[in-house]
Structure 1
């Protein structure tokens, strides 16, 4: 019999997500900051924020020398359209200072690379597909769909202040209060900082790929490796609160 665990995620309404968000209680949130769900009217600012603060500091982007383009912007807008992304804003200036991007992924989702013209982007997407194939996330958890922690960005002036940890905790709490029986969460960590945070919250490591060991047709693909040496795929099963 085919397994349909997780399919209820695809039917989540905007109202149910907003109701769950109201139950999220961020600990030690700095007085000058406010936690919000990213709404449609914030998308343009959010896209610009990711361009300035995610691309500039994401190890995989640098390793594959990927440039921001129209396809990249479309990707983030599609993530934001799920209505689950968490945003920290400044109460004083009203500007975004951090984003925890969240969407929903299905077992049948797989990035097609054959029609990607940019070789650098194609190489990155093929690498991500390779890691996903080895992690076997959906088979491991026996589910058809999962919540995906797809990216984190923090403005320069707020780094090293526990913002990433705070947002991951809030994101897990959001999932716990969705009203579903249980939910599986998938996340990737390309930096040592993000790995520590996932592991702090009890995420299970499903696969680790050393950057220097990744090869295509016997040829090493990634060079100029910096302080971050591996990419890890994580998973976690969350039992939702009643």
Structure 2
């Protein structure tokens, strides 16, 4: 899965200045209206947890077509963002999200959108300028989709947020 994302050459990596030490990574990719890239990368990994995650994320897209809503044929999405524990709390995650604007402008991509899974990442997305498209509480997902067997998560909601340029 990750190799397919990396092959697009849209992944951002932050290194400690002057060293080869990775501080953080943002796994970005561009998806097009008819390419089903997201589905294909999720289904490459056959693990039960990965398939459950994909099915939970699909809940956010029920009755919401991002391409139609924003009038685009492609956009930049995020497949994960991580900052090494010893570098957390320094605003690096926020900078990764803010960097998407210049990256998208450079390649004439009008939209970036991501699913945010925790209260912390949702707050950072708001600070970076992302706007809410759709929200589902984890409790609502558990009730409406019991077959997903969602474990307890220390967060209120799963959100889809976007930033148009």
TM-score computed with the length of structure 2 as normaliser: 0.84
**Larger CA Rg, structure 1 vs 2:** 1
2:70 alignment partner in structure 1: 141
1:175 alignment partner in structure 2: 104
Q: Indicate whether 1:123 and 2:13 are aligned.
A: no
Instruction: Give the deviation of 1:207 after TM superposition.
Output: 0.7
- Matched residues in 2 for 1:191 and 1:168: separation? 15
Instruction: Give the deviation of 1:209 after TM superposition.
Output: 1.1
1:78 alignment partner in structure 2: 4
Aligned pairs for 1:28-47 within 5 A: none
1:229 alignment partner in structure 2: 156
Instruction: Give the deviation of 1:237 after TM superposition.
Output: 1.2
User: Among residues 139, 144, 155, which one is paired with 1:212 in the alignment?
Assistant: 139
**1:82-118 CA distance string (max 9 Å, x none):** 1121111123441111112211012231526889753
Contact 1:131 1:233 in 2 (8 A): yes
TM-score computed with the length of structure 1 as normaliser: 0.59
User: Among residues 117, 120, 141, which one is paired with 1:190 in the alignment?
Assistant: 117
Contact 1:212 1:225 in 2 (8 A): no
Which secondary structure state, in structure 1, belongs to the residue aligned with residue 8 of structure 2? coil
Change over 3 Å in CA distance of 1:161–1:138 after alignment to 2: same
Instruction: Give the deviation of 1:215 after TM superposition.
Output: 4.3
Contact 2:72 2:110 in 1 (8 A): no
Contact 2:104 2:111 in 1 (8 A): no
Contact 2:100 2:112 in 1 (8 A): no
Stretch of structure 1 that moved more, 141-150 or 153-162: 141-150
2:33 alignment partner in structure 1: 107
Structure 2: stretches of 5+ with no match in the other structure: none
Which secondary structure state, in structure 2, belongs to the residue aligned with residue 91 of structure 1? coil
- Matched residues in 1 for 2:162 and 2:140: separation? 23
- Matched residues in 1 for 2:24 and 2:151: separation? 30
Change over 3 Å in CA distance of 1:197–1:91 after alignment to 2: same
- Matched residues in 2 for 1:115 and 1:88: separation? 27
1:200 alignment partner in structure 2: 127
Q: CA RMSD in A?
A: 2.5
Change over 3 Å in CA distance of 1:95–1:154 after alignment to 2: same
